[in-house]
Chains A and B, each alone.
Chain A
Amino acid sequence: MDAQRAVVLDGARADDPWTELARNALTEGLQSAGVRTEILPLWELEIAPCTGCFGCWVQTPGVCVIDDAGQTVAEAVIGSDVTVFLTPVTFGGYSAELKSALDRMISLVSPLFTRVRGEIHHRRRYRIYPRLLALGLLEAPHAEEEAVFGRLVERNAVNLWCPGHAAGVACADDGEAALRATLDRLLAQAGVRR
């Protein structure tokens, strides 16, 4: 059986010790599980904001009309078994760097509507989508931000047709042991480590 492929969308621009530790622990966790891992440091890539033109739906179906790294990231995501979001928890959401890449991924779904559990969403474009694992970073625990972050990841997983998802927040105040425990849980929940 082929090794699983993971792509890490690294939207944690800061190079503080906590972010570095989390980034390294995440990479180690994936690699020790035998996952082929590609890391995309989003702040180093040219990713223009989505212009809301819907060209990726009705002009060049499936491919964003902006020819930059946003296309590369979308292709890497749909080619992965597990897509990993690494981001500071920003008011409960993602960093602007991660969101910029994510906004360009509507090319991965169809413009046509369907119902999912009674709610309207866009139809799938592809037969297979990656599972989604999201690790958010905080300095100190913040129950509300953590809850909103979890809901956001869950909503993204529905809209991007992910067959499974796992979301967790690691707080600098809780230390390295808690970070590693969170990662272990996420990797198991996302089906990376069985």
Chain B
Amino acid sequence: MNRAKQAVLLVGSPKGLARSTSSRRAAVLLDALQDRGWAVSKLHIHAALRSQEDTDVLLAAAASADLVILACPLYVDSLPAPVIRVLELLHAARTRDGEETRFLTLMNCGFPEASHNDTALAICRLFARAMGWTWAGGIALGGTGMGVSGAAWHKVVRLTVDALERGEAVPDEAVALAARPPTKIWLYMLAGNLMWRRQAKKNKVRQRLGACPYAEREHS
């Protein structure tokens, strides 16, 4: 009997498995793989790094998977630091160089343009190469995915899973669909700015939203 293919989802958001956009979007992909007979599991990177034992579990899970999926938010044009730490550890511990592990990345950012994620995805692609893994492609969401409806996301997932089953990378159609910006960027900016001001007002710091606490030389 053939062993079920193994997919492991590594969630790289500090908000964890339940609350993060990265995790919720990737969970749909994981469910779709499971429906096709894959054995799936998910791990939270930030939690795993809190103990050596949990770190070892994560490294072992990734090393034995047929497909490793990384889902995380964009932090300052790249991956969040704990995600980089895990990539460094995986690279230091690599033992199956050249074997057929595939690596897929799902990035999301708060800017409406998904292209902000390009540098992070390039880093993931180079990581896959350094590991001897096959790059299965990157899916980038802009505007925290607000431009991609539930139905559109299910289509992205279906196209992606079909491609993975054929041993191919994420197709361009899925990448383009996921990268759809919110309909009106000016409206997204306006709503975003309003949201930040409201949050600051709620915390009684509305007047200090533009504060410069380290402005030693601003007035010199």
Q: Least Cβ distance of B52 to chain A in Å? A: 16
Q: Which residue of A91, A121, A127 is within 8 Å of B218 (Cβ)?
A: A127
Is B211's CB under 8 angstroms from A62's CB? yes
A72 to B82, CA, bound (A): 20
Q: Which residue of B78, B214, B218 is within 8 Å of A94 (Cβ)?
A: B78
Q: Least Cβ distance of B11 to chain A in Å? A: 13
Binds A, one of B25-33, B150-158, B195-203: B195-203
Contact with A along B187-220 (1 / 0, CB 8 A): 0010011001001101101001111111111100
CB closest chain-B residue, reference A53:
B14
A111 to B15, CA, bound (A): 19
Is B119's CB under 8 angstroms from A99's CB? no
Is A59's CB under 8 angstroms from B122's CB? no
Q: Least Cβ distance of B105 to chain A in Å? A: 12
Is A50's CB under 8 angstroms from B213's CB? no
Q: Least Cβ distance of A58 to chain B in Å? A: 4
Binds B, one of A33-41, A148-156, A168-176, A177-185: A148-156
Measured between beta carbons, the chain B residues less than 8 angstroms from A125 are: 210-212
Q: Least Cβ distance of B106 to chain A in Å? A: 16
Contact A120-B78, Cβ < 8 Å, known A52-B73, A91-B126: no
Within 8 A of B (CB), among A117-147: 119-121, 125-128, 144-145
Is B208's CB under 8 angstroms from A61's CB? yes
CB closest chain-B residue, reference A55:
B203
Measured between beta carbons, the chain A residues less than 8 angstroms from B199 are: 54, 57-58
A60 at interface, CB cutoff 8 A: yes
Could you list 15 examples of A-B contacts with CB < 8 Å? A51-B14, A52-B14, A52-B73, A57-B200, A61-B209, A63-B213, A90-B123, A103-B76, A126-B215, A127-B212, A128-B218, A148-B119, A151-B122, A152-B123, A159-B76
